[in-house]
Amino acid sequence: MSGSHDAYITLLGRSTWALVNAYHAVLREKGLRPERVSIVTEEPYAESAPTAASAILIISEGYGFTPAIGVEILPEAGFVRGGAAIRSLAEDLIAQGFRVAIDITSGRKVTVAGALIAISLAGIHIQHIYYLAMQSLDDVAKPYMMIPHQIQKIRDLMEDAVV
């Protein structure tokens, strides 16, 4: 363990590659080394969660650490319930002393909106909201390091919001 006391919540939607590549970008470009990673997905995408968890473990180990990885499965398109579950997860992690980052890259719009609205209304302080921006979606279903860096950029919406 890195002792960073960071937790990383990532939303898994249709694209496992988007989740995995965003995580790799955060480790490589932002230097985050989370002690805990929570993969939050909806029932229709739950079958991809073990693959995402394995990829996160492999990438983390490549950077010299091993996070605890958990999966939380939400009902499909449960805007309010999904938002509440993600808010509760963030609150629990913060109560345990973790700095919380959330990655919205792979999450479906309804899940992302529900999560961010619930977190905002509850006044929860999230350290980072990550999004892997791609200039083109052509040929991006492959490992992060195989995609030209000029067409992808990891963004921290919390940093971008500070004017």
3-state SS, one letter per residue, for 99-141:
EEEEECCCCCHHHHHHHHHHHHHCCCCCCEEEEEEECCCCCCC
The per-residue pLDDT for 151 is 66
**What is the rounded distance in angstroms from the CA atom of residue 72 to the CA atom of residue 90?**
12
Q: Which residues contact 5 (CB under 8 A, 6 or more apart)?
A: 35, 97, 98, 99
In CATH terms, 6-161 corresponds, of 3.30.2270.10, 3.40.50.10770, 1.20.272.10, 3.40.50.300, to 3.40.50.10770
- In terms of C-beta density within 10 A (0-12 exposed, 13-18 middle, 19 or more buried), how is residue 85 classed? buried
Unique residue bearing structure tokens 């955060």: 26
pLDDT > 70? residue 15 = yes
pLDDT > 80? residue 126 = yes
**pLDDT 10s digits, 88-102:** 999 999 999 999 999
Q: Give me the count of residues in the chain.
A: 163
What is this structure's pTM? Answer: 0.90
pLDDT > 50? residue 2 = no
**pLDDT 10s digits, 22-77:** 999 999 999 999 999 999 999 999 999 999 999 999 999 999 999 999 999 988 76
Could you tell me the pLDDT band of residue 9, with boundaries at 50, 70 and 90?
very high
pLDDT > 50? residue 1 = no
pLDDT > 80? residue 79 = no
The pLDDT mean for the chain works out to 88
Please name the amino acid found at residue 104. I
